């Protein structure tokens, strides 16, 4: 019996359908983000069609910076009848604030590095390199 989208996917077809490595599928199973599917009568694991949606959700959430723990929480909220869109929004707002904080930190690092690079003529002896002196803590 050939597997189709209607009755399920083998692990390799599922991974291919979503655009991930099959080891990634196994990893998500071990992490509890994806349920281990039942085996068909020939012994192959047969993933239900909704597995593609779940894996795409996980993949997209990771692209937005959510950790596996946070994705697990989002999936739990999604499956919880009393959960609301407002709860999901709060979750996303918290992630946005975290990302904005990282951006501020990166911008500060960029500014410091630019200043450091500009302070170095690149034509002095290594012992007089302002970048190394700064990293040694001799200059602020």
pLDDT the model gives residue 2: 45
Instruction: Identify whether residues 60 and 14 lie together within a single domain.
Output: yes
- Residue 79 inside a domain? The answer is no
Domain holding 108, by residue range, is: 84-140
Secondary structure of residue 44 in the 3-state scheme: coil
d(CA 105, CA 120): 23
pLDDT the model gives residue 83: 86
40-57 confidence digits (pLDDT tens): 888 888 999 999 999 999
Instruction: Identify whether residues 55 and 90 lie together within a single domain.
Output: no
Instruction: Identify whether residues 93 and 37 lie together within a single domain.
Output: no
Q: Could you tell me the pLDDT band of residue 6, with boundaries at 50, 70 and 90?
A: low
State how many domains the chain has: 2
Q: Could you tell me the pLDDT band of residue 39, with boundaries at 50, 70 and 90?
A: confident
Q: Tokens for 68, please give them.
A: 């596996």
End position of a domain, from candidates 37, 66, 95: 66
Query: Using an 8 Å Cβ cutoff, are 25 and 15 in contact?
Result: yes
pLDDT the model gives residue 81: 85
Query: Using an 8 Å Cβ cutoff, are 52 and 10 in contact?
Result: no
- Residue 78 inside a domain? The answer is no
59-113 confidence digits (pLDDT tens): 999 999 999 999 999 999 999 888 899 999 999 999 999 999 999 999 999 999 9
Q: Could you tell me the pLDDT band of residue 5, with boundaries at 50, 70 and 90?
A: low
Instruction: Identify whether residues 1 and 54 lie together within a single domain.
Output: yes
- Residue 73 inside a domain? The answer is no
- Which is nearest to 58 in space by CA: 86, 19, 107? 19
């Amino acid at each position: 019996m050939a597997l189709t989208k209607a009755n399920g996917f083998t692990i390799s077809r599922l991974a291919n359908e979503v655009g991930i490595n099959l080891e990634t599928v196994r990893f998500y199973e071990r992490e509890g983000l994806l349920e281990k599917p039942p085996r068909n009568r020939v012994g192959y694991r047969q993933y239900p069609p909704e597995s593609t949606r779940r894996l795409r959700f996980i993949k997209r959430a990771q692209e937005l910076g959510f950790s596996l723990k946070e994705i697990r929480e989002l999936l739990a909220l999604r499956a919880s009848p009393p959960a609301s869109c407002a709860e999901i929004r709060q979750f996303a707002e918290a992630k946005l604030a975290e990302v904005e904080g990282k951006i501020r930190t990166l911008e500060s690092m960029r500014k410091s590095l630019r200043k450091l690079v500009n302070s170095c003529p690149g034509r002095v002896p290594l012992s007089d390199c302002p970048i190394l002196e700064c990293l040694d803590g001799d200059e602020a």
